[in-house]
Amino acid sequence: MAKIVVALGGNALGNTVEEQLKKAKGSAKSIADLIVAGHQVVIVHGNGPQVGKIRLAFEKADEGKDIMPFPECTAMSQGYIGYHLQQTIDEELVARGVNDVPVITILMQVIVDPTDPAFANPTKPIGGYYDEENAKKLMQETSNVYKEDAGRGWRRVVPSPKPVDIYEKTSLNTLVAAGEVVIAGGGGGIPIVYKGARYEGVDAVIDKDFSASKIAELIDADILIILTAVENVCVNFGQENQQSLEHVSIAEMQKYIAEDQFAPGSMLPKVEAGIQFVQAKQGRKAIIASLELAGKAIQGESGTVIQS
């Protein structure tokens, strides 16, 4: 039996509540395959489309003003995505005759460094689109930063700092030790920084793959599996000499990173998060694979495996 952290992309969960519930049922089948095989599982999910819609709803309700802080929007997304995953995984397990494995969702805060360089260069777009005039007006009225987004209009951008620690790590380890299936770090977690005598939420987005890597490290997981839309990581992607990677070392992956083989907003953070986890302790491995083939990937029959 292995202790596994599964990183599930927010785009794999759909753009509407109905679509998300349907896709969550599909995700539950792959996750249940791992649990039924005897593995202990922690799930970390993205929230990109979902938190964007939450934020947009509040923006529309108050003409772009900050009626609802972004950390609270992330907390909302953790709640309803966790609810769907918790419900569908439990249903799938019961349907397979597994009635004694509890599934629980943690509202999780992730500690970030206030001096992280990301805070000086916000790049992560969130919320709705505005024309240039209204975006600049909003920047004058608030402390928010808006940037033009690929010719589609102006959007608010927030920092994307790296996770330093997990505030609820003691509770997380207690639940894992009790054999529960834990859904944690949703959307990369609610980013918090230490100010004075307490922690406070900050407007930022933590990449869920890096949070999954940190969670896997803190619970001493054996495997980090990052599920995505493709079966393997590729080099020379989209070219005639495209090559699928199956078993690669950290050194090989670092060489490919230096060659700019992986897209910064797509495959690169997955590869970097995998390397980070494997480097932290001998004997670990990270796998990047498709959602539908998660079970085969754990058995070494699919996906890209990163080992030291």
Out of 46, 144, 188, 208, the active site residue is: 208
Out of 162, 270, 295, 303, the active site residue is: 270
Task: Report the distance separating Cα 14 and Cα 148, nearest Å.
Answer: 25
Tokens read off for 19:
């679509």
pLDDT at 126: 76
Task: Report the distance separating Cα 28 and Cα 89, nearest Å.
Answer: 5
Q: What is the DSSP letter of 285?
A: E
Tokens read off for 206:
């933590």
Task: Report the distance separating Cα 276 and Cα 214, nearest Å.
Answer: 9
**Is residue 124 flagged as an active site residue?**
yes
**What residues of the chain score a pLDDT lower than 50?**
none
**Is residue 10 flagged as an active site residue?**
yes
Own/partner pairs for 135-139, CB < 8 Å, 24+ apart?
A: 138/64
pLDDT at 17: 74
pLDDT at 51: 79
**Is residue 208 flagged as an active site residue?**
yes
State the sign of the Cα–Cα–Cα–Cα dihedral 115, 166, 201, 67: positive
Task: Report the distance separating Cα 203 and Cα 100, nearest Å.
Answer: 39
pLDDT at 175: 97
pLDDT at 189: 96
